[in-house]
Chains A and B, each alone.
Chain A
Amino acid sequence: MLTMTNQEFSQLAAYIKANYGINLKEEKRALVTGRLHHVLIQNNFRNFSEYYEHILTDKTGNGAATLINKITTNHTFFMRETDHFEYCKAQVLPYLANQVKAKDLRIWSAGCSSGEEPYTLAMVIDEFFGKERLLWDAKVLATDISSRVLEEAKKGVYKNAEIATLPAQWRLNYFRKIDNEKSVLVDRIRNEVIYRKFNLMDSSFPFKRKFHVIFCRNVMIYFDAQTKWELVNKFFDLLEYGGYLFIGHSESLNREESKFKYIMPAVYRKE
């Protein structure tokens, strides 16, 4: 097993911080080494210094893309933090259905990983509107920094065990069994999610119109306080008045400093 020296770890951590905002603390060193080990072996790098040099000089950007794909953890599952979706259905969607006269909902899943969150949202929306669904443009924008997870997400294929926690009605209506192992989302739901690669650290956000709802759950846990503060302010500016921000249950915004109104744990509103 290759080892990573202090200097190598600091270099790599500084690079990742500067480019992606992700704050890798010392205790992550073993994890990072483990995740990158295979990349080094495969590409015949003798040590992490050589690998780092390659990342810096590689003009194709492929090296950096692989690095970030390996570093970003992608723990997610359907209906993660279920109460958020219940709140959406009970409060947020009824409010928006009444408020948004143009019938175009703009929902953003920022840090969507392998697609469970945006697809769950698409299913919640479909179920909420029922027959009225056709009258609404309610596509979910789903972004992630990792092209690898986006490719996975687009396929909409999940293990049967992964969707077992979903309501039976959803499994029946929204999934088609491929075999005993896997199922695929029906096109009706799959087409309701638009995937784009996007780095939340980019200085300019290319969105023409403001959002009604932003989900950014368990993403900012990797950011330091300053980066998180700046991003939360950007989210505030990017939301319509009356719009909602959902973050992870282990995260919180400082109520004395944040412009957001606290609604319930991990749910905030721009008022």
Chain B
Amino acid sequence: MKKLLIVDDAAFMRLSIRNMMNNYDIEIVGEAANGLMGVEMYKELHPDVVTMDITMPEMSGIEALKAIKAHDPQAKVIMVSAMGQEGMVKEAIINGAKTFVVKPFKEEFLYQTISKVLGL
């Protein structure tokens, strides 16, 4: 079972992603509520893939992405963006994010995206 780390400051969104992945062979190994926590949890939990929100307190998703990539250049990070954040998504891709999903998204789409990134 592949391990997913969810990084999002909104508890509602963390829960949504967790529920969406219930029906698939993806294990949620951790939930982080800001970028800083996300980086720490990545180092500790070694997930196969990360869903990374963009705007968060403490440390933004882009800063967290950079820190994770510096620690593990192979890290697979999917950016979770809201509408109107095209510029930030571009910056994230330049900094090593594998791809992105735009909220709101359906569970099949999220799973397909994760599968593709993991080469399943």
Contacts and interface: CB of A to CB of B under 8 A. Distances in A.
A262 interface: yes
A261 B10 contact: yes
Contacts of B13: 261, 271
Nearest to A254: B11
Interface residues of A, number: 16
Interface in B88-120: 103-104
Contact of A263 (B12, B55, B103, B104): B55
A98 interface: yes
B9 A255 contact: yes
Q: Is the interface of B mostly helix, strand, loop or mixed?
A: loop
Contacts of B57: 262
B9 A99 contact: no
B83 interface: yes
B73 interface: no
Interface in A220-271: 241-242, 255-263, 269, 271
Contact of B84 (A99, A256, A262): A99
B82 interface: yes
B11 A256 contact: yes
Contacts of B103: 241, 271
A205 interface: no
Q: Which 6 A-B pairs have the closest CB atoms?
A: A242-B83, A271-B82, A95-B84, A259-B12, A271-B103, A256-B11
Interface of B: 9-13, 55, 57, 82-84, 103-104
